[in-house]
Amino acid sequence: MARKYFGTDGIRGRVGEHPIDAEFMLKLGWATGQVLGSGASTRVVIGKDTRISGYMFESALEAGLSASGVDIRLLGPMPTPAIAYLTRTLHACAGIVISASHNPHHDNGIKFFSAQGTKLPDEVEAAIEEELDRPMVTVSSERLGKAERMDDARGRYIEFCKSTIPSRISLGGLKVVIDCANGATYHVAPSVLVEMGADVVAINVEPDGLNINANCGSTNPGLLRERVLEEGADLGIALDGDGDRVIMVDHRGELVDGDELLFIIALSRQENNQLFGPVIGTLMTNLGMEHALQARNIAFERARVGDRYVMELLQKHEGVLGGESSGHIICLDRTSTGDGMVSALQVLATMVQKQVSLHELKQGMTKYPQLMINVPLARRIDIDGCEPVQSAVREVEARLNGKGRVLLRPSGTEPLIRVMVEGEDHALVDEQARYLAAVVEQAVGARIESA
């Protein structure tokens, strides 16, 4: 069913432009309360990242929920996965996250978690949209919801993160640089590592409401690489603005992306007899990871791009491990959603147990050259039905000669077409990706941007 507001990852857009405005958020809070506040629990938890607009939207959602008769627990700035965890442990009927993840400060959005700490089912999102079209009616004064700030949310989540690896494992002796993207993990992630014994250098931990994800974090790991080399650190960890993605850097300054991290965790799970079901990747997962897993008799399947689709396949196959190249990794045997810090800890635990470096751990997988180019959409276009583009796709596939992949897909969070070419020959991949992006650019009438 076509959605009016919800996309693949909640509701997202530019601040001040409908629906990312205070008036809509007031109504959204009310509609959420109408749909989710009628069960045994009538409590909703709200958390946010460090964007300045979070204050405005937090207040609006709080007012709307209260008007519907639902109580509110305000968590303040907290990582998205922390809100999923606290929704479960506080037995709330839902969790709301105010965040636009890895996007810049001028964007914001709303994500929802069910009482189980998972993304809301499609039918619940549809029910909320139906309520949004109805007049807002406030309950009587004696039934208004009450709001309460939760002071120990940070400590609860820190302890949870630590509990996801064996208590006997210490990070003593490891020097770690962590980049918190001036986002929601700034007051959490460094503390987790320090309490586990690591020597920690924390960067981008001074959010001002505007600098979230600005030339830092998992989407911009350049500064992290520099600091790892400068500090002589064993590794670096880069999280995104809301803490559900992680990218790492080894002691040589080499990037270790989500595919490589997923591979490392999968092998560790297999060696410890803890890997169940297939590993789930996406259409963007590097072909090298698929081949490396197959060589070790680990089943692998691809989902559509987006963590909700990874989760769907994990649940279908009763699997425990899946993720995306971007670093959104789901360890279902540890938590209910993608969690950058929890995923990083699984890798660190493997390093300690095997007494090897991150650089050594990633050697079991050889990545194929892959280039993705973003083409902004100046106008809506059906790529599948555009013959010049499809003709170019067939042409590129023929040149790859069965030794690579071509993928064109619209972004689920931004007005972009993503053009990806992957293959054994780096020069050929680069040439064909740029050729195909130019064809798409001409079709959509926009300027291209390298990813």
Q: d(Cα 408, Cα 448) in Å, to the nearest integer?
A: 14
Q: Cα-Cα-Cα-Cα dihedral of 289, 358, 418, 24, to 10°?
A: 120
Interior angle at CA 38, CA 37 and CA 42, nearest 5: 45
Q: Is-contact 181 148, C-beta < 8 A?
A: no
Cα 313 from Cα 303, distance rounded (Å): 7
The answer to whether 14 and 103 are in contact (CB under 8 A) is: no
What are the residue ranges of helices labelled H in 355-416? Answer: 358-361, 387-400
In terms of Cβ atoms closer than 10 Å to its own Cβ (0-12, 13-18, 19+), residue 409 is middle
Q: What is the helix (H) or strand (E) element at residue 296, kind and residue range?
A: none
List the one residue out of 187, 182, 192 whose CA is nearest residue 344. Answer: 192
Is 101 a residue of the active site?
yes
DSSP codes joined into one string, 239-280:
E-TTSS-EEEEETTS-EE-HHHHHHHHHHHHHHTT---S-EE
CA distance 49 to 61: 15
Distances in Å between the Cα of 78 and the Cα atoms of 11, 171, 243, 295 are 19, 24, 9, 39
> At residue 354, what is the residue type?
K
Q: Which residue of the set 68, 99, 101, 343 is catalytic?
A: 101
Show which residues are catalytic: 101
